[in-house]
Amino acid sequence: MTNHYFDHAATTPMHPKVIQAMLEVMQGSGGNSSSMHAFGRAAKHQLNRSRDLISAAIGCKPGQLLFTSGGTESDNAALIGAARAQRKRGKSHIITSAGEHHAVLHTCEWLVKEEGFSLTVLPIDSFGRTSPELVQEAMTPETGLISIMHGNNEVGTIQPIEEIGRIARAGGAVFHVDAVQALGSLEYRLNELPVDLMSFSAHKINGPQGVGALYVANGTPIDALQHGGSQERKRRAGTENIAGIVGFAAAVDICVNERENKQLFMDELRKRWIELLHNHVEVPIVINGSEQHYLPHIVNISFIGVDTETMLMNLDMEGIAAASGSACTSGALERSHVLRAMQLPEEQINSAVRFSFGLGNTLEELEDAAQKVGTIVRRIRNNY
């Protein structure tokens, strides 16, 4: 059976060049980057070189880049650290949107419950977009933090972060952007953007799991969450994951060199996949998200009348990896909070599947996969 991996938005396979770069570190002599001896200095050199490469790729200074264990930690460090720092300045109101990743939403909810912050969760429109006008309306003199993602991980919708960032800056609020899903698809020049904090993760761009980064603009008020060492300019204590960071840098380097061609090819895959499904599937299909502002590697599709969980189980049995874009809890599928926030009809929400493309996918394999999807849909409908 031929397998098809269409779940790159969840995690990506590591690029061979990333694996090789990490192996060289792991098979080396080792060394703690905080140590003074030659082994420590060698590790420090690898750390600095990686930081230089990544910061240059995203348009910031090396000292503005903080390494973390991944996107979730980056989001938590940004939100909790900035919220606490801003509260010292008399600003304890947070604004976010209903379409955010749970790493942001759950952290904001925790800040409300455990630390007494006030929170405004803005609605998103039927395309998954956050309105800058609603952000402006929600602003108060107490607003200290705004968090809006750049590219949605479930429907791929790209948010107007430049407009929102200007609103935040004018109101004296720290602006955080979750760019975990967008890195590798969108070009960044952070020194030109009205963004104070931005979260990244390596495993979404063919790098290793367990490593990420947080951009912190100069002058951004943020309290450290981890204590016990002076690593990362005293902003994140703990010995750095040198092999992971080197792998992250290698993945970013590949992204920079291949971004334009990758964007074009991912968009070609996305459009061809939609076309093939229209040809092979005998039920109405609906594309969820924006037709204009979208990440090229993600497409969220509702197969009207076909239950999401049933569809995913059958896809898996046929060797096709896809996702619902939401979490499974105790074996029960939790319907997408993003699609609900978009106020889509129940029949769309209950039949939605996310397909996401990346390294290793080809136009040729889409034909085989689409035929399998058509067969699956016919089988499911005949069993109803």
So which residues are the catalytic ones?
328
SS3 per-residue string spanning the chain: CCCEECECCCCCCCCHHHHHHHHHHHCCCCCCCCCCCHHHHHHHHHHHHHHHHHHHHHCCCHHHEEEECCHHHHHHHHHHHHHHHHHCCCCCEEEEECCCCHHHHHHHHHHHHHHCCEEEEECCCCCCCCCHHHHHHHCCCCEEEEECCCECCCCCEECCHHHHHHHHHHCCCEEEEECCCCECCECCCHHHCCCCEEEEEHHHCCCCCCCEEEEECCCCCCCCCCCCCCHHHHCCCCCCCHHHHHHHHHHHHHHHHHHHHHHHHHHHHHHHHHHHHHHHCCCCEEEECCCCCECCCEEEEEECCCCHHHHHHHHHHCCEECECCCCEECCEECCCHHHHHCCCCHHHHCCEEEEECCCCCCHHHHHHHHHHHHHHHHHHHHHC
Burial class (CB in 10 A: 0-12, 13-18, 19+), 331: exposed
Question: Strand 197-201 and strand 174-178: pairing?
Answer: parallel
Phi, psi at 33, each rounded to 5°: -65, -10
Residue 56, token pair as written in the block:
């240059």
d(CA 251, CA 268): 22
Phi, psi at 201, each rounded to 5°: -145, 140
Contact 201, 74 (CB under 8 A): yes
